[in-house]
Amino acid sequence: MTGNRAPRNRPTIHDVAAAAGVSRGTVSRALNGGRNVSPAALEAVLKAVRTTGYVANPAARSLVTQRAHSVAFVLTEPQQRLFEDPNFSILLQGCTQELAEVDVPLLLMTANTEVERKRTSRFIAAGHVDGVLLVSSHTGNPLLEELRDSGIPVVACGKPIGHEGQVAYAAADDRSGARLMVEHLRSRGRHRIATITGPPDTPGGVERLAGYRDVLGADASPDLIAHGDYSRAGGEAAMASLLSRAPDLDAVFVASDLMAAGALNVLHDSGRRVPEDVAVGGFDDSSIATSTRPALTTVRQPFQRITREMVRLLLDQIQGEPPAASILPTELVVRAST
Amino acid sequence: MTGNRAPRNRPTIHDVAAAAGVSRGTVSRALNGGRNVSPAALEAVLKAVRTTGYVANPAARSLVTQRAHSVAFVLTEPQQRLFEDPNFSILLQGCTQELAEVDVPLLLMTANTEVERKRTSRFIAAGHVDGVLLVSSHTGNPLLEELRDSGIPVVACGKPIGHEGQVAYAAADDRSGARLMVEHLRSRGRHRIATITGPPDTPGGVERLAGYRDVLGADASPDLIAHGDYSRAGGEAAMASLLSRAPDLDAVFVASDLMAAGALNVLHDSGRRVPEDVAVGGFDDSSIATSTRPALTTVRQPFQRITREMVRLLLDQIQGEPPAASILPTELVVRAST
DNA sequence: CCAACTACTGTGCACGTTCACAGCGCGGTT
DNA sequence: AACCGCGCTGTGAACGTGCACAGTAGTTGG
CA distance B274 to B270: 11
CB of A70 less than 8 A from some CB of B: yes
Residue type, A21: G
> What is residue A289's DSSP assignment?
G
> Among the listed ranges A39-53, A319-333, B67-81, B269-283, which one has the minimum average pLDDT value?
B67-81
Chain A CB contacts of B2 under 8 Å are: 65, 67
Whether residues B261 and A122 touch (CB distance < 8 A) is answered with no
CA distance A243 to A128: 51
Residues β-bridged to residue B172: B328
Q: How many Å apart are A38 CA and C24 C1'?
A: 15
Q: How many Å apart are B36 CA and D25 C1'?
A: 15
Whether residues A107 and B105 touch (CB distance < 8 A) is answered with yes
Q: How many Å apart are A187 CA and D20 C1'?
A: 80
Tell me which of B89, B116, B311 to substitute to probe the interface with A (most A C-beta atoms closer than 10 Å): B89
- CA torsion sign for B317, B321, B323, B327 is negative
The answer to whether B186 and B193 have CB atoms below 8 angstroms apart is yes
CA distance A285 to B253: 30
* Bases along strand C below 7 A from a protein CB: 7-12, 14-21
pLDDT of residue B81: 75
pLDDT tens track for A100-141 = 999 999 999 999 889 999 999 999 988 999 999 999 877 778
How many A-B residue pairs are in contact by the CB < 8 A criterion? 165
Residue type, B174: D
Q: How many Å apart are B4 CA and C29 C1'?
A: 38
The answer to whether A74 and A131 have CB atoms below 8 angstroms apart is no
The torsion defined by the Cα of B271, B275, B281 and B284, in degrees rounded to 10, comes to: 90
Whether residues B320 and A60 touch (CB distance < 8 A) is answered with no
Chain A CB contacts of B154 under 8 Å are: none
How close A69 comes to chain B (CA, Å)?
7
CA distance B60 to B66: 10
Residue nearest to nucleotide D9 (CA to C1'): A26
Whether residues A59 and B69 touch (CB distance < 8 A) is answered with no
Whether residues A55 and B128 touch (CB distance < 8 A) is answered with no
* Closest alpha carbon to B281 in B333, B217, B216: B333
Phi, psi of B144 (to 5 degrees): -60, -40
Closest nucleotide to B54 by C1' from CA: D16
Mean pLDDT, residues B123-135 taken together: 94
The answer to whether A174 and A211 have CB atoms below 8 angstroms apart is yes
CB of B68 less than 8 A from some CB of A: yes
DSSP states along A115-144: HHHHHHHHHHHTTS-SEEEEE--SS--HHH
Whether residues B73 and A2 touch (CB distance < 8 A) is answered with no
pLDDT of residue A164: 86
CB of A126 less than 8 A from some CB of B: yes
Mean pLDDT, residues B137-150 taken together: 85
Residues 6+ apart with CB under 8 A from B12: B54, B57
Whether residues B63 and A60 touch (CB distance < 8 A) is answered with yes
Residues 6+ apart with CB under 8 A from A187: none
Closest nucleotide to A29 by C1' from CA: C18
Which region holds residue B56: left if phi is over 0, alpha if psi is between -120 and 50, else beta? beta
| C-alpha pair distances (Å), A262 with each of A46, A84, A236, A288, A293 | 58, 12, 5, 11, 11
Q: How many Å apart are A13 CA and D11 C1'?
A: 15
> What is residue B200's DSSP assignment?
T
CB atoms within 10 A of CB A256: 31
Per-residue pLDDT of chain A (338 residues; tens, 9 = 90+): 333 333 447 899 999 999 999 999 999 999 998 788 999 999 999 999 999 999 999 999 999 999 999 999 999 987 777 777 889 989 999 999 999 999 999 999 999 889 999 999 999 988 999 999 999 877 778 899 899 888 899 999 999 988 888 999 999 999 999 999 999 999 999 999 999 999 999 999 999 999 999 999 999 999 999 999 999 999 999 999 999 999 999 999 999 999 999 999 999 999 999 999 999 999 999 989 998 889 999 999 999 999 999 999 999 999 889 999 999 999 999 999 99
- Using a cut of 0.75, tell me whether the model's pTM lies above it: yes
CA distance B263 to B254: 8
The answer to whether A297 and A281 have CB atoms below 8 angstroms apart is yes
Q: Kindly report the CA angle at A183 between A180 and A184, in degrees rounded to 5?
A: 85
**Is the pLDDT score of B7 beyond 70?**
no
A127 vs B2, B58, B116: nearest CB: B58
* Closest alpha carbon to A164 in A146, A148, A177: A148
CB of A289 less than 8 A from some CB of B: no
CA distance B281 to B209: 13
Whether residues A126 and B315 touch (CB distance < 8 A) is answered with no
Closest nucleotide to B39 by C1' from CA: C8
How close A59 comes to chain B (CA, Å)?
5
How close B78 comes to chain A (CA, Å)?
11
pLDDT confidence of B49, banded at 50, 70, 90?
A: very high
Residues 6+ apart with CB under 8 A from A277: A250, A267
pLDDT confidence of B6, banded at 50, 70, 90?
A: very low
| C-alpha pair distances (Å), A191 with each of A216, A219, A246, A295, B96 | 9, 9, 12, 22, 47
Q: Kindly report the CA angle at B335 between B334 and B338, in degrees rounded to 5?
A: 80
B83 vs A57, A287, A318: nearest CB: A287
Which region holds residue A300: left if phi is over 0, alpha if psi is between -120 and 50, else beta? beta
B93 vs A83, A123, A127: nearest CB: A83
Residues 6+ apart with CB under 8 A from B33: none
A13 touches strand C (CB under 7 A): yes
Whether residues B82 and A88 touch (CB distance < 8 A) is answered with no
Q: How far from the centroid of its chain's Cα atoms is residue B155's Cα?
A: 10
pLDDT tens track for B180-203 = 999 999 999 999 999 999 999 999
Phi, psi of B44 (to 5 degrees): -60, -40
